[in-house]
Structure 1
């Protein structure tokens, strides 16, 4: 009996929000908030449990085999293919009619599509998914789910039929220490990221691909005009993530910046160019800092990164995508010598403050107390760590 545990991280944008839409560079980095998926072979059905959302789905294999036959889906484990609108609608109706849930539940729809496409012979499996990542906050929660789902299904399809170890576990909520870690190859990660991108397309329509890439490979990625490249290992750096709990609409914020650019191209254009220069300077500074191990010897590099945070936030504020709550986070953080900026679309949501070896522990503690006093939620987390990780019983 094959069992797998998968974890994948969320992400934040360090520099480059909104300008990336206009072909400029953005830096996205993995964060130490993770989604976890456990998969085991069991019974005669597919069951998917999302306890965080209080949702459980279950289908007999016969139902799913019939669904695949009706859709004329050919398994293509090594060839990730996007879901057509016709197939998407059919799976949505299938979920709605068999479970009585809203067809907008794209997460389970994406999972079923990958399940039907990746396996040659559909297996009876139980899947259990939990997450530390706040949903809908711009921290890559859907991408982490996509990567965990793609990783679990793809790796399980490859593991099936291999000899079983003498001891396995039976607890569906098993922790990774109960299993043996897999050393994933670069090609396996590439394939997982490609399948996760197919999942993301179902979730979001036209995603950039940066979220699933960061979640799969970890570290920090520079993204520009559809092309991504790793920058450096940021292990040793932290950020203070602050959730303002102010809802925001990414689509509207992006549209508003685009409208401003159309109306004032000679004004907005140079602002976007300045953000590009911020991102490029950040890349070279991070690479220099990484070479020194992000130690106290990087004092000048840390100062540069802090200046770039201030500049980036100032430009984004000028573009109209900040919010009084985000300004308050920046203001409070500054009183404790922590440089902060909005991250993501803005208009609410999250801000981040850079924590480095020259920031004293007491400064962070006092900042957290003050920020929480305004009703904000704080997460002190490592950035730039590992991407997808997998453990197995075989």
Structure 2
């Protein structure tokens, strides 16, 4: 039987960079998903296959080869809790290197390693075919690696019986709190393989959905009570997140008082934004009032991100374009390229949205429209996905 799981991407609505310096950040799930499907085969031989549908790449390993390597090194398999020993990761890196990933796609190697770690830890040595499809552009700050890890961990745990789900259920199935906690732990392990020291924000938002407030290592889940739609513009400009984070820290060392004031202001913006989003809006007038406040907060946050030195000419182009249509935008994530958010008010006409998108796409950008603060992880059995 085939088991599928889908997990959403994420955006940071406010607080990126400042969060490293003790400010509050707010992140939210978006209704753009990564889906992992898994079909386990019977028997002891055969292949473990990973198909990355969007890149057209297929990786495969003979199960016997994996088995032999693991037994040679005497690597124990732990399926009860996520842990990865240096010996195990060394072995996995050999299996990944043997795949000869093309130079242009070398960034995928860490994801393939996370896949092998998750699969062998949860399923051991069973042949299987696993396929991945995604709505999320890679490496653009929309949480594509977390959605990859969450959907994979969920599909594997569900197919192993570890989540105790009803296999006869038709359609997408939301999971209970303890099942989500378990998936989140495994997904965080995968994120560590990909990113080294992830914050845990991305996988938590992808697993539980809705929104999260994050401050000094503490995550608080919050619920959106107003409909929110954003235009997400992918500038397609790659960036070095570590260098951007280091740049903000250097600026904070050179101008401690001024940058402290910047981080304090960002903290206030995040808290006010979270309060507005959690307040129920009963009619169009109150929704419009809340949207107006959110637009101002987004503009203020963008101005402070410029103070931190993480904007980029491609981001400024998006800001100028959306401003022509009286729309508020801000970068999301690391900056220096990546993606820009533009709030689409509820009463904004579809014609205006089409015009904005046409103008942005003529600059070579990619545009996606997403509902904000929606569902988290869901699982599906059989061919209903």
TM-score under structure 2 length normalisation = 0.91
Task: Please state whether the residue corresponding to 1:211 is helix, strand or coil.
Answer: helix
Distance 1:369 1:53, change over 3 A: closer
Task: Check conservation: 1:219, 1:234, Cα contact below 8 A.
Answer: no
Corresponding residue of 2:184: 193
In 2, Cα distance between equivalents of 1:153 and 1:235: 34
Shift of 1:71: 4.5
Preserved contact between residue 4 and residue 38 of structure 1 (Cα < 8 Å): yes
Note if 1:356 corresponds to 2:380. no
Taking a change above 3 Å as real, the CA distance of residues 160 and 212 of structure 1, as seen in their structure-2 partners, is closer
CA contact 1:336–1:366 (8 Å) conserved in 2: no
The Cα offsets for residues 41-62 of structure 1, whole Å up to 9 and x where unpaired, read as 2363211111222221222222
Q: Does 1:223 align with 2:214?
A: yes
Looking at structure 1, the residues matched to 355 and 259 of structure 2 have their Cα atoms a distance apart, in angstroms, of 37
Distance in 1 of aligned mates of 2:356 and 2:317: 12
Instruction: Give the structure 2 partner of residue 250 of structure 1.
Output: 241
Contact 1:222-1:231 within 8 A present in 2 as well = yes
Structure 2 CA distance for partners of 1:136 and 1:281, relative to 1, 3 Å? same
Distance 1:255 1:384, change over 3 A: same
Listed as ranges, the matches of 1:129-140 within 5 Å are 129-140=132-143
Q: Are 2:147 and 1:144 equivalent residues in the alignment?
A: yes
User: Alignment partner for residue 260 of structure 2, among 244, 269, 273?
Assistant: 269
Runs ≥4 residues deviating over 4 A? 159-165, 293-296
Gaps of 5+ in 2: none
Residues 235 and 384, structure 1, Cα contact 8 Å, conserved in 2: no
Is the partner of 1:222 in helix, strand or coil?
strand
- Partners of 2:92 and 2:328 lie apart in 1 by 46
What secondary structure, in the 3-state scheme, does the structure 1 residue paired with 2:160 have?
helix
The match for 1:65 among 64, 67, 73 is: 67
Superposed, which structure 2 residues align to 1:1-394 within 5 Å?
Answer: 2-42=1-41, 44-81=46-83, 83-97=84-98, 99-101=99-101, 105-119=109-123, 121-158=124-161, 179-233=170-224, 236-288=227-279, 291-292=280-281, 295-393=284-382
My pick for the range that moved more, 330-339 or 231-240, is 231-240
Closer/same/farther in 2, CA of residues 42 and 24 from structure 1, 3 Å limit: same
Aligned equivalents of 1:216, 1:8: Cα separation in 2: 7
Please tell me the root mean square deviation across aligned C-alpha atoms, in Å: 2.4
Query: In 1, distance between residues paired with 2:379 and 2:282?
Result: 27
Return closer, same or farther for 1:161/1:68 CA change in 2, 3 Å cut-off. Answer: farther
CA contact (8 A) 2:174 2:377 kept: no
The aligned residue for residue 174 of structure 1 is none
Using the alignment, how far apart are the partners of 2:55 and 2:185 within structure 1? Answer: 26
1:296: Cα distance to partner? 4.2
Q: Deviations over 1:109-136 (max 9, x none)?
A: 11111112123x5322111111111011
**Residue by residue, what CA displacement relative to the aligned partner does 1:90-115 show, whole Å, maximum 9, x if unpaired?**
21012223x33478601111111111
Following TM superposition, by how much is the alpha carbon of 1:277 offset from its aligned partner in structure 2, in angstroms? Answer: 0.6
Counterpart CA distance in 2 for 1:37 and 1:179 is 17
Deviations 1:160-213 (A, max 9, x none): 999986xxxxxxxxxxxx954334111111110110000000000000000001
The structure-2 alpha-carbon separation of the partners of 1:195 and 1:389, relative to structure 1 and needing over 3 Å to count, comes to same
CA distance in 1, matches of 2:151, 2:202: 13
Q: Which residue of 2 aligns with 1:169?
A: none
Shift of 1:297: 2.5
Shift in Å at residue 72 of structure 1? 3.8
CA distance in 2, matches of 1:15, 1:277: 10
